[in-house]
């Protein structure tokens, strides 16, 4: 069972009509939430404390209990973030695969959401049945994320911070 989520950091107004999205249903998960808590408040507290719009990606609005957009493969490469030493958590980190028929739409959605974020940054999380431990990957660019996805080095149950450029290029925005 998969959930595929994007948090558009700092976004105030949701966008669900995304150009070049051919086959992914996009839901605004903030709409169902009166207390501003987003999905997985207990599981991913850091993502929940970040301000923005949380989106749920599925094959259709009626899809229940996970999405078929994603598939997974056993982590045959055996590499984990070095700070993950718990075997229980390592067992939950499997290779994420975006099924071919959804890949182009997924890429377009990510690009669009990065541009809609005031800081050009999103968080992407694919949840597969797990021990519910928050694991966050430091900021990587969109291009790096796509390359790692194609190389089957993106893992499930990890939140990835994705931006349009390297952070050293973004530093001037904050001065």
Q: What is the token pair recorded at 147?
A: 């390359």
**Ranges assigned E (strand) in the chain:** 2-9, 25-28, 52-58, 70-73, 95-98, 121-128, 136-141, 159-163
In percent, how much of the chain has pLDDT > 70? 67
- Contact 72/156 with Cβ under 8 angstroms? yes
- Contact 31/47 with Cβ under 8 angstroms? no
Measure the CA–CA gap between 155 and 13, rounded to whole angstroms: 29
91 pLDDT band (50/70/90 cuts)? low
pLDDT digits (tens, 9 = 90+) for 106-151: 999 999 999 999 999 999 988 776 566 677 777 899 999 999 999 8
- Contact 72/96 with Cβ under 8 angstroms? yes
- pLDDT exceeds 80 at position 87: no
SS3 159: strand
Measure the CA–CA gap between 117 and 9, rounded to whole angstroms: 6
Measure the CA–CA gap between 19 and 22, rounded to whole angstroms: 8
Q: What is the token pair recorded at 6?
A: 């994007």
More confident residue, 98 or 45: 98
Measure the CA–CA gap between 168 and 5, rounded to whole angstroms: 26
């Amino acid at each position: 069972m998969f959930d595929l989520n994007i948090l558009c950091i700092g976004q105030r107004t949701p966008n669900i009509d995304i150009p070049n999205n051919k086959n992914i249903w996009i839901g605004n998960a903030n709409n169902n939430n009166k207390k501003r808590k987003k999905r997985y408040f207990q599981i991913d507290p850091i993502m929940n404390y970040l301000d923005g719009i949380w989106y749920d990606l599925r094959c259709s609005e009626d899809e229940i209990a996970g999405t078929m957009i994603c598939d997974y493969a056993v982590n045959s490469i055996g590499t984990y973030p070095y700070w993950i030493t718990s075997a229980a958590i390592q067992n939950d980190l499997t290779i994420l695969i975006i099924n071919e028929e959804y890949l182009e739409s997924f890429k377009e959605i990510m690009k669009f959401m990065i541009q809609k974020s005031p800081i050009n940054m999103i968080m992407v999380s694919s949840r597969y049945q797990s021990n519910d431990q928050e694991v966050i990957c430091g900021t990587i660019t969109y291009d790096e994320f796509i390359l790692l996805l194609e190389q089957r080095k993106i893992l499930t149950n990890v939140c990835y911070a994705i931006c349009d450029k390297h952070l050293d290029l973004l530093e001037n925005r904050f001065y």
